[in-house]
A and B are shown apart, each in its own frame.
Chain A
Amino acid sequence: AQSVTQPDIHITVSEGASLELRCNYSYGATPYLFWYVQSPGQGLQLLLKYFSGDTLVQGIKGFEAEFKRSQSSFNLRKPSVHWSDAAEYFCAVSSGGSYIPTFGRGTSLIVHP
């Protein structure tokens, strides 16, 4: 069965600082990987996804993520965080057949001015 681990429950950064959110997955075959963001009162929004090809994927809002098969990781990065990035971030994995993602428990990003 597929699973996702987000080891950091909370991350606090200063505005303008760089950000990396960690995600490790467990899945036997080549996974489909996703990062979603959830702001209070809002639905989940897809930031980026990896299906195949280039292991560094670019997403919306200046985010990127790198798929590292050897480490079973798909970490999310942003070079300079804005106060509006404060939200809950979820990593997810799915198999190619179902396209139904299994989500991690999320990482809450707090941005200090």
Chain B
Amino acid sequence: DTGVSQNPRHKITKRGQNVTFRCDPISEHNRLYWYRQTLGQGPEFLTYFQNEAQLEKSRLLSDRFSAERPKGSFSTLEIQRTEQGDSAMYLCASSSSSGDYEQYFGPGTRLTVT
């Protein structure tokens, strides 16, 4: 078990560009979550999947944000037309859908929009 991995770890982009982040969950976990964390704040929930189904997406910050998990394994989070306010750490977590649903977090992708 290698834990949750996220790529890239850092991304610098210019305002208006699109960016995509990838999350690989723990292999036996069927739930996958995305969070955003800004400086001095705790993680803020964005969306989550159970297998390939996106069960909650109302908390995505705007229609520029979208996420996919096409085969129920890895997931991608895309931000279109980035804005400076999108600069943050984007965290991914995974869990099983039984037991205590404990979430295991990845190291995050730090996005800087210039």
A44 touches B100 (CB 8 A): no
A44 touches B102 (CB 8 A): no
Interface of A toward B, CB cutoff 8 Å: 4, 9, 36, 41-46, 49, 51, 90, 92, 98-106
Which residues of B lie under 8 Å from residue A101 when comparing CB positions?
45, 103
Please give the distance in Å from A93's CB to the nearest CB on chain B: 11
Interface residues on chain B, number (Cβ under 8 Å): 23
B95 touches A99 (CB 8 A): yes
A100 touches B33 (CB 8 A): yes
A99 touches B101 (CB 8 A): yes
Q: For residue B35, which residue of chain A has the nearest CB?
A: A103
Interface of B toward A, CB cutoff 8 Å: 3-4, 33, 40-45, 48, 56, 91, 93, 95, 100-108
Q: For residue B42, which residue of chain A has the nearest CB?
A: A103
Among B100, B105, B108, the residue within 8 A (CB) of A45 is B105
Please give the distance in Å from A56's CB to the nearest CB on chain B: 18
In the complex the two chains form, what is the Cα distance from A51 to B101 in whole Å?
11
In the complex the two chains form, what is the Cα distance from A100 to B48 in whole Å?
9
Ordered nearest first, which 8 A-B pairs have the shortest CB separation?
A: A103-B42, A43-B105, A99-B101, A44-B105, A43-B107, A90-B42, A103-B43, A43-B106
